[in-house]
Amino acid sequence: MAKEKIILGLDPGTNVMGYGLILVRKPKVDLLQFGVIHLSKYAGHELRLKKIFERVISLIDEFSPDEVALEAPFFGKNVQSMLKLGRAQGVAIAASLSREIPIVEYAPKKVKQSVTGNGNASKEQVARMLMAQFAIKELPKLLDATDALAVALCHHFQKGETKAKTKTWEAFVKENPGRAK
């Protein structure tokens, strides 16, 4: 039987950063904690980045995750906003790396597809699916929390569904006799 694994999911932002922690004990996945870090109350961008670093470190120190899953940057029209978001993501990555925790990034569409079956699902649809999955009684006010939880769950699903790729055509034919003619 595989050992337990804790996954920390992060949805970095410069105003609100979501986080979600799950415990994987196959075949069961349990919710440990999820929430948001309010950053808009801090005046400068540099101070917000410092708070992201400190909070990610504190989550790592408290829960000792085995892996960190992060929502990858998306492309927007406002270049300044994208740069700030990229910095927030970089700081979250640096915090994880400083504790030698492996990191994986997932595109927003991949996360939505993995959790809801629809890569174009709304934040509300993702949140409702997670509410059902983890028996969460109330929809969070800020969906950054459920977005981060979705990233952690997506990572779990991707690890569980990844199959070794066939290396040669002969191996493929041998493994799939009815598919190759």
Tell me, yes or no, if 66 is annotated catalytic: no
Residue ranges of the binding site for Mg(2+): 11, 71, 144
Reported as a single tens digit per residue, the pLDDT across 143-179 is 999 999 999 999 999 974 433 343 455 665 666 566 5
At 122, is the pLDDT very low, low, confident or very high (cuts 50, 70, 90)?
very high
Residue ranges of the binding site: 11, 71, 144
pLDDT for the residue 90: 93
pTM of this structure: 0.85
Tell me, yes or no, if 144 is annotated catalytic: yes
Lowest mean pLDDT among 10-24, 50-64, 73-87: 73-87
5-175 carries CATH number 3.30.420.10: yes
At 35, is the pLDDT very low, low, confident or very high (cuts 50, 70, 90)?
very high
Mean pLDDT of the chain: 88
Q: Which of 4, 11, 61, 67 is catalytic?
A: 11
Tell me, yes or no, if 71 is annotated catalytic: yes
pLDDT at 2 over 90: no
Enumerate long-range contacts of 29-36, CB under 8 Å, 24 or more apart: 29/133, 29/153, 29/156, 30/134, 31/134, 31/136, 31/149, 32/6, 32/63, 33/63, 34/140, 34/145, 34/146, 34/148, 34/149, 35/145, 36/140, 36/142, 36/144, 36/145
Q: Which of 71, 105, 138, 170 is catalytic?
A: 71
Stretch 131-138: mean pLDDT: 94
